[in-house]
Amino acid sequence: MYPPKPTSRFIFLALTLFLFLFLSFTVISSGATNEDEDVEGIEELIALDEEVENQEGDPHVRSSEAEVLSKAQRIVIELNQDSTKRVIDGNEYVLVLGYAPWCPRSAELMPQFAEAATDLKELGSNVLMAKIDAERYPKAASSLGIKGFPTMLLFVNGTSQAYTGGFSSKEIVIWASKKTGEPVIRIRSVIQAKEFLKKHPLFVVGLFEKFGGSEYEEFIKAATSHSELQFVETSEVDVANVLFPNVQPSYPFVGLVKSEPDRYTAFEGTFKMEDILQFLDYYKFPLVTTVTELNSVRVFSSRIKFQVYVFAEADDFKNLVEPLQNVARKFKPKVLFLYINIKDDNLAKPFLTLLGLEDPEDTVVAAFDYKISTKYLLESEPTPSKIEEFCSGLLHGTLAPFYKSQPVPDNKEGSIQTIVGKTFEDLILSSPQNILLEVHTPWCVNCEATSKKVEKLAKHFKGLDDLIFARIDASANEHPKLQINDYPTLLFYPAHDKSNPIKLSTKSSLKDLATLINKNLKMDHNTKDEL
């Protein structure tokens, strides 16, 4: 009754043998590939592994593996100590990626770079894509001006310029195409248009009767100067219709296509570069843009001056996104709508700190008018109708600006009153007394020493009815009449003239400060006597 054992052992052995043979074959064959590469010298491929993997088992492709190899090898060149100078000097356009094998950001960028290389090649671009292991070849890398990882540089006839595009393969393709003299892709057939659509969710399409004339030139100028959006052109209405359904069949036509509910926007201005660029800046963002590390710079530099921010947890935002898009549609393109995940500290924290909401419990809706550097906070429940009302107020200038304030404290104890944003008006500007106000922040270097001085002064002047000592934490409290940039600051508010506080030097000795306060009190009394 032992048959199963030998059988299973046999199978096990056979499998082991098979695996052994298979693995050695793989090792030997990959060894051979490496040798080939060494013989060939400089070129290495990024896409090879993937391609070979995809094609394994297909005898047709296997037989033409050499072909695949040489094609892929041409896509990204690996520079080394010897080849770097030759490659850079010998080509009009070289886009170089300096990387380090251990660097995670390099690892993220590399497949995007390889994909961009493949796409650029397909587009017939004349830019050569090269990478250099800057750790292995530090001299060659530093001769190119590569100082960190990853670094991308474009060399035009040997002179480098910094890469300023995005980091997805598509963004690399767009940037490289524009910098190497191909700002627009010409689409010649419906089939080509359909292929293009598969790869491009966001682009600008131009329909021109002929590729010439002043309107066309303005379009090309806009395409060249806009380094972020892909532009395509066609002279066929049926081609244009694939890219932008129901295109107005009147020449010339320019439209923006995006991947969102409002996909298609037609340009209706005059054909001037500046007008086309402005149109794109106003409409390129979706109804509601989710801010990420990758797009934040682009979003925050938008020329749209009214911006509404929603800070929410991802789950809460899911329910809000559609109603918010409907609100956004009504205010487009005058108001930019942004969503920031409230849990994303890097992106959300700086804004929440500006709003004095370090630890918000719920969704926060705020707005900024960047022309006048003013912020607003929606203080009611953020329902779609309240948000709409809020936006309308923002647009018409009827919202009350938001100033940070801590909760109103009870100042019953202590010789120094704590002032907050909400009490600044009443307790400082409208109070009948003279006030010495200490403006501080929790982090400022000399604030503690100044606080001690103020406490001593308060004790010294105790009992004077018309002099109040007060302090305000300017990091958590704001008032339009309190515009201070250095901390600590000591301000003396004379009772008779609250709009012109006198700045006292925090470096003065206690004695000098006391003398100054006495002098100002006396002046105030004299003024009162005169009145």
Ligand X SMILES: *[C@@H]1O[C@H](CO)[C@@H](O)[C@H](O)[C@H]1NC(C)=O
**Active-site residue numbers?**
103, 444, 447
Smallest distance from ligand X to CB 395, Å: 46
Are the C-beta atoms of residues 56 and 26 closer than 8 Å to each other? no
Taking the C-alpha atoms of residue 222 and residue 256, their distance in angstroms, rounded to an integer, is 13
Nearest CB to ligand X, comparing residues 56 and 89? 89
List all residues 6 or more positions away from 284 whose beta carbon is below 8 Å from its beta carbon.
202, 228, 229, 256, 258
Smallest distance from ligand X to CB 123, Å: 18
Smallest distance from ligand X to CB 181, Å: 7
Nearest CB to ligand X, comparing residues 7 and 157? 157
Please identify which residue in the block is written with the tokens 């921010």.
309
Smallest distance from ligand X to CB 50, Å: 33
Nearest CB to ligand X, comparing residues 227 and 241? 227
Question: Which tokens is 206 given?
Answer: 């131009």
Smallest distance from ligand X to CB 113, Å: 22
Which residues from 73-132 bind ligand X, rule CB under 6 A? 92
Among 156, 237, 516, 523, binds ligand X (CB under 6 A): 156
Nearest CB to ligand X, comparing residues 91 and 405? 91
Task: Tell me if residue 234 falls in helix, strand or coil.
Answer: strand
Which residues from 2-41 bind ligand X, rule CB under 6 A? none
Smallest distance from ligand X to CB 158, Å: 9
Among 157, 270, 415, 509, binds ligand X (CB under 6 A): 157
Which residues from 300-359 bind ligand X, rule CB under 6 A? none
Are the C-beta atoms of residues 241 and 193 closer than 8 Å to each other? no
Nearest CB to ligand X, comparing residues 157 and 527? 157
Are the C-beta atoms of residues 468 and 411 closer than 8 Å to each other? no
Q: How many CA atoms lie within 13 A of 448 on its CB side?
A: 3
Residue 332's CB is within 10 A of a number of other CB atoms, namely 18
Question: Which tokens is 30 given?
Answer: 């990959």
CA dihedral 166, 174, 306, 274 (to 10 degrees): 140
Nearest CB to ligand X, comparing residues 156 and 354? 156
Size of the site for ligand X (CB under 6 A): 3
Question: Which tokens is 204 given?
Answer: 């600008």
Taking the C-alpha atoms of residue 269 and residue 92, their distance in angstroms, rounded to an integer, is 37
The single-letter code of the amino acid at 114 is: A
Question: Which tokens is 451 given?
Answer: 């606080």
Does 224 bind ligand X (CB under 6 A)? Our answer is no
Beta strands 230-234 and 203-207, pairing class: parallel
Smallest distance from ligand X to CB 155, Å: 11
Query: For 484, phi and psi rounded to 5 degrees?
Result: -120, 135
Question: Which tokens is 309 given?
Answer: 């921010």
Query: For 35, phi and psi rounded to 5 degrees?
Result: -60, -45
Please identify which residue in the block is written with the tokens 């359909």.
194
Nearest CB to ligand X, comparing residues 24 and 157? 157
Using Cβ positions, the residue closest to ligand X within the complex turns out to be 157
Please report, as ranges, the residues that interact with ligand X according to CB under 6 A: 92, 156-157
